[in-house]
Amino acid sequence: MSKKKTKTPESEDRSQAILVQIGESTAREMLGTMILIRAFEEKADELYILGLTHGTMHLSIGQEASAVGASYAVRRGEDYLLNHHRGHGHALAWGSEINLMMAEFLGKENGYCRGRGGSMHIADIERNNLGANGIVAGGIPIAPGVGVSIQLRKTDQLCLCLFGDGAANEGAFHESLNLASIWDLPVIYFCENNQYGMSMSVDRAFNIEHISDRACAYNIPGETVDGNDPLAVYDAVSRAAERARAGKGPTLIEALTYRWKGHSKSDPQAYRKRDEVKEWQGKDPIPRFAAVLKSAGMLDDKLVETMREEAQQKVEQALAFAKASPEPDVATIMEGVYA
């Protein structure tokens, strides 16, 4: 059966209204965070090549708008975050400390997980970031449990559960959405559709136009947005958050984006063409959002350059901190390790 090729929709008409709503200061901060995520991951890529990190890593370069737009639309540090192996940007957008993240990358004792977790298992429990999960869809079935906890404690918190398109074809996805729907749990299911689950294209893995179409099977709202537009993402997640806090249950949001790098560092990327990658690089969310802010009179080229310089300084300072940090003690190496 033939199927229409998934395309990124144009930015929503509400984007300008959302820009006015969030204000100049927050809009600039969002752009600065996107720039910081890019700088951090480019440095992480370099450190891997130099053999200074442990294990593999999964980079989200090109997906910064999804992480930032979703995170800024909820109460970062108060609400709960569940994310996945491609989660560096999520943690930074959530407000995690870049020094502790870099220390974790280098396997140091004062990293977020005492150097045991590495790139794809960063958690920041103090800020309610319950951790990235190295298992595809591993975080999705945890989300209903978080939702039940919120209901039992009778707070107006919510759980932002992030996952990729590949995870949407795991059984846990359906089980989790079904339970959250039945019990009206305050969960936002946020699918970062970066077009590939490892080497599997979404056009081969799904026979629907949008992953968000699956929401109707559970009688919950579903929406697909331009994942390279942080304002469109912010808008969709904000509305889902309002619904969740009002006791009206979960929402499924699909953000269409693209990963510039391979699935992991061992990926030769033989399954996609260079022209496709170049096309999506032309949709780079950072200069695109910067152009929006410039058009609104909130930004100029000098300030963008200052943001880039500050991001590079933060990354270099974090690297210096990590290099100077202590290695784990062999006597305690088994502490903090979970099966």
pLDDT surpasses 50 at 106:
yes
Fold of 15-267+275-325: Rossmann fold (3.40.50)
Q: What is the pTM of this model?
A: 0.93
Q: How far apart are CA 30 and CA 18, in angstroms?
A: 13
Sign of CA dihedral 153, 144, 249, 230: positive
What percentage of the chain exceeds 70 in pLDDT? 96
Which run of H or of E encompasses 193?
strand 187-193
> Could you report the per-residue pLDDT of 20-35, keeping only the tens digit for each?
999 999 999 999 999 9
The residue ranges of every structural domain in the chain are: 15-267+275-325
Residue-wise pLDDT tens digits, 210-256: 999 999 999 999 999 999 999 999 999 999 999 999 999 999 999 99
Read off the pLDDT of residues 138-175 as tens digits, 9 standing for 90 and up.
Answer: 999 999 999 999 999 999 999 999 999 999 999 999 99
List, in sequence order, every residue forming a beta bridge with 161; answer none if it has no partner.
Answer: 82, 189
Comparison of pLDDT for 160 and 339, the residue scoring more: 160
Q: For residue 338, what pLDDT is reported?
A: 67
**Helix (H) or strand (E) segment spanning residue 26:** helix 15-49
- The span from the CA of 212 to the CA of 190, in Å, is 9
Radius of gyration of the chain from its Cα atoms, rounded to whole angstroms: 19
Nearest CA to 255 among 288, 284, 222?
Answer: 222
Amino acid, single-letter form, for residue 228: N
By residue count, the chain amounts to 339
Q: How confident is the model at residue 13 (pLDDT cuts 50, 70, 90)?
A: low
d(CA 90, CA 125): 14
**Tokens read off for 139:** 């975080």
| pLDDT above 90 (res 12) | no
pLDDT band, very low/low/confident/very high, at 9 (cuts 50, 70, 90) = very low
Q: What would the mean pLDDT of 117-125 be, rounded to a whole number?
A: 91
pLDDT band, residue 335 (cuts 50/70/90):
confident
Question: Looking at residues 74-88, what average pLDDT do you find?
Answer: 96
